[in-house]
Amino acid sequence: MQISTLLPSALLLAIAVTASPVTRAEHDEILLEQRQDRGSYTVSGLGARKQAILNAGGNTLDLAIAMLETERMSTDYIYANFGLFKQNWGMLRVCASRAGFVGQSQSQWNNGAKLNSDIYADVAARWDCQNYYGYNLWMAGHRNGASGLNNPNTADINNYKSAIEWMQSQIDSNSRYRTDDTRFWVNVPPI
């Protein structure tokens, strides 16, 4: 088979893979539009945050989770979750032994704020909980709390996990992404 006969098919396949159908409202025509659900951009100072996570014992999975949770990989968000990873108290009080949370009551939830200022405890708590629940169940509980732990295979949880795994693969694709200001992102609907 000649390359000239394969080229049109290869081009069509490339367009189909990187595009999705979109309707133009004024004419009801179906067009192909490049997917815009993931990518990367530069965030000044992000490399220092990445290094802090790695220096605290984290790895590229930790970088991807923190990167998905907040743009600057910071803890200055308004929700009642904790640390760079936005960990939930329901799980932390079951499994975060090195942070000292295991056995604490539901009403002691604000003790989790320790993770907002102690990156070592934050990374250790994430790993303690992943080791306790296992990777897939930890992802489910992290994404959707008790509901996720009880029903870990929803489309939303799988989408969240897939987004993190894609981001980790991008970080792993070049060692510079572990230390530079590149932020990878995937459009994951908030819950």
pLDDT, tens digit, for every residue of 114-156?
999 999 999 999 999 999 999 999 999 999 999 999 999 999 9
pLDDT band at 51 (very low <50, low <70, confident <90, very high): very high
- pLDDT > 90? residue 47: yes
Residue 90 has pLDDT above 80, yes or no: yes
Using alpha carbons, list the distances in angstroms from residue 93 to 80, 112, 125, 186, 191. 14, 9, 10, 29, 22
| Predicted TM-score (pTM) above 0.95 | no
Whole-number Å distance between alpha carbons of 84 and 74 = 6
Task: Give residue 35's pLDDT.
Answer: 56
Please check the confidence at residue 189 and state whether its pLDDT lies above 50. yes
3-state SS track over the chain: CCHHHHHHHHHHHHHHHCEEEEEECCCCEEEEEECCCEEEEECCCHHHHHHHHHHCCCCHHHHHHHHHHCCCCCCCCCCCCECCCCECHHHHHHHCCCCCCCCCCHHHHHHHHHHHHCHHHHHHHHHHHHHHHCHHHHHHHHHHHHHHHHCCCCHHHHHHHHHHHHHHHHHHCCHHHHCCCEEEEECCCCC
Tell me what percent of the residues of the chain surpass a pLDDT of 90: 77
Would you give the end-to-end CA distance of the chain in angstroms? 50
- Are 149 and 117 within 8 A, CB to CB? no
Query: pLDDT per residue over 2-38, tens digit each?
Result: 544 443 444 333 333 333 343 344 445 444 445 589 9
> Contact, 38 vs 183, CB < 8 A?
no
Give the integer Cα–Cα distance in Å for 114 and 94: 16
Residues 88 and 142 sit within 8 Å (Cβ to Cβ): yes
Mean of pLDDT over the chain: 87
Structure-block tokens of residue 119:
């990156």
Domain ranges of the chain: 3-34, 38-186
Contact status, residue 160 vs residue 60, Cβ threshold 8 Å: no
87-100 average pLDDT score: 98
